Amino acid sequence: MTPSNAKIPVTIVTGFLGSGKTTLLRHILGNAEGRRIAVIVNEFGELGIDGEILRGCGIGCDDEGNEREGALYELANGCVCCTVQEEFLPVMLQLAERRGELDAVLIETSGLALPKPLVQAFQWPDIANIFTVDSVVTVVDGPAAASGQFAENPQAVDEARRADPNLDHESPLHELFEDQLSAADLV
């Protein structure tokens, strides 16, 4: 349990589509050993696929399978790095009000997020004294990287980028991959 005056640790999980971010989250949450972890999932478009997968595995649900209020938050209006003030900050303020109920926060970014703006947001006065980024984990598709690519299907990643009207950065995908790697504490 986090003492009421200690900062709540936040782990940011980033990586391209299909790299295994949701699988990693399921593993972490499945082995939480009673720790109270809030999860923020950044989605593209109207369908919260990762949120549905996590709920389907019982993440964010009580023992009877009913969704628990405030355990899983979905940000579905585009890339979290582009909507950090409009989407992310209100959720973090809600979590700040519940600081005595939380041991940690896990954030899964979309596959197209630049992690550095999100990390920098934790310096904002409204949340800087409550949360701290303990690590940025970049999940990499090993077989794709071994073959010289950043994703198994770079065309699908590019299509997802073009489909999001809220994406404010036009970084070439190889630069986005480099940004995700350079922000990482663990790959």
Residue 72 resides in a domain = yes
165 within a domain of the structure (yes/no) = yes
Residue at token pair 């994703």: 151
User: Is the residue at 174 inside a domain?
Assistant: yes
Total residue length of the chain: 187
Does some domain include residue 170? yes
Residue 187 in domain? no
Q: In this structure, is residue 1 part of a structural domain?
A: no
Amino acid at 185: D
Number of folded domains that form the chain: 1
Out of 19-23, 26-30, 129-133, the most confident range is 129-133
CA 187 → CA 31, 36, 80, 83, distances in Å?
Answer: 20, 25, 20, 25
Asked whether residue 87 is assigned to any structural domain, the reply reads: yes
Alpha-carbon span 110 to 180, nearest angstrom: 11
Does 59 have pLDDT greater than 70? no
Q: What is the mean pLDDT of residues 52-56?
A: 45
pTM, rounded to two decimals: 0.76
Predicted pLDDT of residue 61:
41
> Does residue 88 carry a pLDDT above 90?
no
CATH number at residue 86: 3.40.50
Which residue range forms the structural domain that includes residue 39?
8-182
The single-letter code of the amino acid at 51 is: G
Q: Does residue 2 lie within any of the structural domains?
A: no
